[in-house]
């Protein structure tokens, strides 16, 4: 039965060629075209192309991804490097800042140390200055005038009484004192009432003759004594020296100063621990002041300035009583003197009071003289004068 059906189907197909055409056309179409009517080879080609493009695109994508990854990695690396660099820079800056801070701290410390040192030095120097001011002779400068004398010149300054914390004393202070000098010192001996002190003085006495063989008059006995022997045999607590008026016409100021220094050193050797007062020479009156000779106040001042340099404020002091007796121009007031050189007797009490007000209580070991032989030679020259 099945065979019959098969023959019938074949006969129908054979007898109906149209059916065969349809069948063959369908088979061909199904082989070469897909459901959308596109040829399979074209589709396949398109798919292949797409696949190829996809692969290429994937490759490109992969390449891009790789590139992007590389870039990312590079950027990351660069970022890391930049970070490291930035970190390094920051570290360097921090280090620099630390170094700068350290330098600043060091500089600040150095500055502080310097300032502290400066302050210490300043304060120390200030203390030293105050101590020096307390223990040294001060000078007031002025415009010097030209002189044509070969014995002296204008010192261009005035020596003031040595700055010190003097103690006000009474007459008993002078019981162990000796006064060495010329006729002005003789006036103090006669009219100041210091009976407890020893006076060794003469008219015309000089620094050159004081320790000489001719001796000096001891005012209590009126006899000539050898000062060398006296100063080695008897100890004094203080010695007052006023010499220089009679030296105005003898030698020059450096010569005078050198001898004065020699005398003081000799006294210190013979009188250890003694306090020495170098007393300024009193100026002369305007009438007595003679610029044509060496007997004038410029020369007297030159000698005073020189002798003031011997004071050290420890065991040698410079005392200037001129302000008590001179006018604004530095002349001895005419009404106080009978000869333009010496005071009337009634005015010596002022001198005595001045000495009372300038007592030094010895509370420390004596020091060395501020002056040296070399310095003594550098002082200005002096001239000649008459007796005092």
Pick the range with the lowest mean pLDDT from 37-51, 106-120, 238-252, 299-313.
106-120
Examine the pLDDT at 82 and tell me if it is beyond 80.
no
Distance between CA atoms of residues 212 and 383, nearest Å: 22
The model's confidence at residue 31, banded by pLDDT at 50, 70 and 90, is low
Rounded percentage of the chain residues whose pLDDT exceeds 90? 56
Distance between CA atoms of residues 331 and 343, nearest Å: 13
Distance between CA atoms of residues 273 and 236, nearest Å: 9
pLDDT score at 65:
37
Neighbours of 373 (CB within 10 A): 11
Where is 173: in which H helix or E strand?
Answer: none
Distance between CA atoms of residues 240 and 265, nearest Å: 14
pLDDT score at 150:
84
The model's confidence at residue 85, banded by pLDDT at 50, 70 and 90, is very low
pLDDT score at 284:
98
- 34 or 190, which is more confident? 190
The model's confidence at residue 136, banded by pLDDT at 50, 70 and 90, is confident
pLDDT score at 281:
98
Distance between CA atoms of residues 318 and 383, nearest Å: 22
pLDDT score at 21:
63
Instruction: Give the pLDDT mean for 116-135.
Output: 41
Please write the tens of the pLDDT for every residue from 184-199: 999 999 999 999 999 9
Q: Where are the beta strands (DSSP E) in 266-320?
A: 275-279, 316-319
Task: Please state, rounded to an integer, the average pLDDT across all residues of the chain.
Answer: 75
Please write the tens of the pLDDT for every residue from 221-279: 999 999 999 999 999 999 999 999 999 999 999 999 999 999 999 999 999 999 999 99
């Amino acid at each position: 039965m099945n065979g019959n059906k098969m023959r019938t189907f074949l006969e129908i197909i054979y007898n109906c060629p149209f059916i065969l055409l349809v069948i063959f056309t369908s088979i061909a179409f199904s082989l070469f075209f897909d459901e959308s009517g596109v040829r399979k080879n074209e589709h396949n080609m398109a798919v292949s192309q797409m696949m190829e493009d996809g692969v290429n695109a994937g490759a490109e994508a992969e390449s891009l991804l790789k590139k992007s990854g590389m870039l990312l990695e590079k950027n990351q690396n660069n970022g890391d490097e930049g970070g490291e660099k930035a970190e390094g820079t920051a570290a360097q800056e921090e280090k620099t800042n630390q170094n700068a801070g350290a330098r600043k701290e060091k500089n600040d410390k150095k500055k502080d140390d310097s300032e502290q040192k400066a302050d210490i030095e300043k304060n120390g120097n200030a203390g030293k200055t105050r101590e020096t001011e307390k223990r040294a002779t001060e000078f007031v400068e002025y415009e010097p005038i030209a002189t044509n004398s070969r014995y002296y010149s204008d010192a261009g300054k005035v020596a003031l009484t040595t700055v010190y914390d003097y103690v006000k004393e009474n007459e008993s202070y002078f019981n162990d004192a000796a006064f060495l000098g010329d006729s002005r010192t003789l006036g103090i001996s006669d009219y100041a009432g210091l009976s407890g002190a020893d006076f060794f003085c003469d008219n015309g006495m000089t620094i050159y003759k004081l320790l000489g063989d001719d001796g000096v008059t001891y005012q209590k006995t009126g006899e000539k004594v050898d000062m060398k022997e006296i100063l080695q045999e008897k100890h004094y607590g203080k010695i007052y020296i006023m010499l220089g008026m009679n030296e105005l016409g003898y030698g020059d100021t450096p010569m005078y100063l050198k001898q004065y220094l020699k005398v003081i050193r000799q006294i210190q050797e013979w009188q250890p621990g003694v306090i020495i007062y170098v007393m300024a020479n009193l100026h002369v009156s305007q009438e007595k002041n003679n610029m044509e000779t060496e007997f004038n106040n410029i020369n007297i001042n030159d000698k005073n300035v020189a002798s003031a340099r011997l004071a050290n404020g420890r065991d040698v002091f410079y005392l200037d009583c001129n302000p008590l007796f001179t006018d604004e121009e530095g002349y001895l007031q005419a009404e106080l003197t009978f000869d333009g050189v010496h005071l009337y007797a009634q005015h010596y009490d002022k001198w005595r009071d001045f000495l009372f007000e300038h007592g030094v209580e010895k509370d420390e070991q004596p020091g060395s003289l501020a002056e040296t032989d070399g310095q003594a030679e550098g002082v200005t020259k002096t001239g000649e004068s008459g007796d005092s």
